[in-house]
Structure 1
Amino acid sequence: MLCSCVMSKRFDLHSHTLRSDGVLTPTELVQRAAEKGVDVLALTDHDVTDGIAEASAAASEAGIELIPGVEVSVSWEGRTIHVVGLAIDPANTELDQGLARLRAMRNERGRDIGERLERAGVENAHAGASEYAQGEILSRTHFARFLVDRGYAADVGKAFRDYLRKGKPGHVRNDWVSLEQGVSWIRAAGGTAVIAHPARYKMSAGAMRRMLGEFRESGGHGVEVVCGNYNAAEAERFARLAREFDLLSSCGSDFHGPEQHWLELGKLAPFPAGCIPVWERWAA
């Protein structure tokens, strides 16, 4: 999949388009990645793969490499965890059927969020948020953008804090598929399963070790050691955990749009010493 001299390449293995909760088209995403100096980009929209064909064509035109991917929503001990699948076959039937199941769950959750927000006084919440969803899924980010544009919140972060997080009027518990199930779909599609942005889960050290242990036992391959908003201490922590659990190291900005400048494409620190990059699995 990868050509030689991968060590000289600049990788960004986590990004989104408007097919899920990003704001750029697949073509615009690839063009921006090329402008930012990215050599190898993974498109990893939430629970949907239908932007990959367009992104692949744009990558060929731009002279960069496109890794087909997806970000799968799973549940573990009552928490939502995201597992990035890299180098997948998007046409795989098992993965495709699994993602369709997750999209249906997302859209049902969207209806519940809309009803709760409307009961809290937010008019036309479901219909309004749906106007921001240009793909097959309705996400919390679409509700957040709606709340900002209608004047209910100053920015997306405040919309989440005031309306969408646990204990707030629009919060709905997420019950996705199991961690093991999500990993199995990625593996069925020939992909590499990676725990996305582990620092965001705010787990205790013990819970993180349990989760990574179960992930490894389920056939998981790697962990995002470097993410767009990590500090050096977080990267070092997850580099140590990757070594402890014999996991490969991945890196990704989690880019959603230009407005989140702290998650810019290709704006990633180098791996801490001792990491084995996930792309070594593809070059083997």
Structure 2
Amino acid sequence: MNKIDLHMHSIYSIDGEYTPKQLVKMCAQKSVKVMALTDHNSIKGVAEAKEYAEESGIHCIPAIELDCTFESATLHVLGYGINTEFEDFNQIEQDILKQEQVASIKRIELVKKLGIVFDTNEAIKLSKDGYISGEMIAEVALKHEENRNHLLMTPYYEGGDRCDNPYVNFYWDICSQGKAAYVPVEYITLKKAIETIKAAGGVSVLAHPGNNVREDKEFLERIIKEGIDGIEVYSSYHTPNQMAFYKEQVEKYSLLQTVGSDFHGKTKPAIEIDSVQCNSQGEKIYHSLMEKINSI
């Protein structure tokens, strides 16, 4: 049982394209036996995913991905085996949505100051509940031919070195923390994220650390000391060297290891469900995770 994908997003994530039912169908088509719907700060799609997964003979682990901060860095923490009736999750989701609605206006202004042309109304049409992400801005901006000659935009067009996942790469390069169009949002702390997941009966796992922690051993050690239960070793963001590095770290600190594609759909077109191989360790990853969940 190596067909396992513990990280994917539905329409209940601001940047997800498919419904939970559609994701289950895609998992079934790829013979995935274990899945987890990990929407950003939301558990709204879990019940639907579990219902259709059961019909398809797939084990769907209830989960969430919480945005949080630690030492000024923005991190993502996956929570597995959670009680989806835990009210704190809804409160976190609503708080972030309100902040993002305000941040969206500032984000648009900052991107336009860079000389990038796009139709604000078109971006609004793509928005969910007034939240306009960097990925949505990119989707609209890339339709404007005049942006092809803009130095900041050429990498995202066909043939450019960032065209594999142009929307999310635009976000990372232009709208993420430390970049020109970054607008801060006050997320919960890493400690709060871990405590919330634990209070909901779940297991906390650091998502795709190669993307923001990289191979900073000292920083990673401080994160681990906050009480994280595991690390997403096998990720679509990780190079083979990073997977080997994080495999070494989970063994060193006796942590769980997980695997996830971080599938979103059009936001990350180069990433597919079950696109990350975990070197035939799927069954071990699954049983270790379930053993930890059941022990709480």
Give TM class, smaller chain: 0.7 to 0.9
- Shift in Å, 1:245: 2.2
Indicate the percent of aligned positions where both proteins have the same amino acid.
Answer: 26
2:31 match:
37
Task: Say whether 1:184 aligns with 2:195.
Answer: yes
1:89 match:
83
Task: Say whether 1:28 aligns with 2:22.
Answer: yes
- Shift in Å, 1:97: 1.6
Alignment of 1:41-190 (within 5 A): 41-121=35-115, 127-134=121-128, 137-151=131-145, 152=147, 153=153, 154=157, 155-156=166-167, 159-160=170-171, 163-165=174-176, 168-190=179-201
> CA contact under 8 A between 2:118 and 2:144: conserved in structure 1?
no
Q: Which one-letter code corresponds to 1:250 in the other structure?
A: T
- TM-superposition CA deviations, 1:62-113 (whole Å, max 9, x none): 3312222111000111111000111212221123222322232333322321
Q: Which one-letter code corresponds to 1:101 in the other structure?
A: D
> CA contact under 8 A between 1:13 and 1:250: conserved in structure 2?
yes
SS of the residue aligned with 2:231? Answer: strand
Q: How well do the aligned residues superpose, as a CA RMSD in angstroms? A: 2.8
- Shift in Å, 1:181: 0.7
Alpha-carbon distance in 1 for matches of 2:223, 2:133: 25
1:280 match:
291
> CA contact under 8 A between 1:67 and 1:86: conserved in structure 2?
yes
- Shift in Å, 1:235: 1.6
Q: Which runs of 5+ in 2 are unaligned?
A: 148-152, 158-165
2:163 match:
none
Q: Which one-letter code corresponds to 1:263 in the other structure?
A: I
Number of equivalent positions: 273
Alignment of 1:235-250 (within 5 A): 235-250=243-258
Relative to structure 1, is the Cα distance of residues 60 and 126 closer, same or farther in structure 2, using a 3 angstrom cutoff? farther
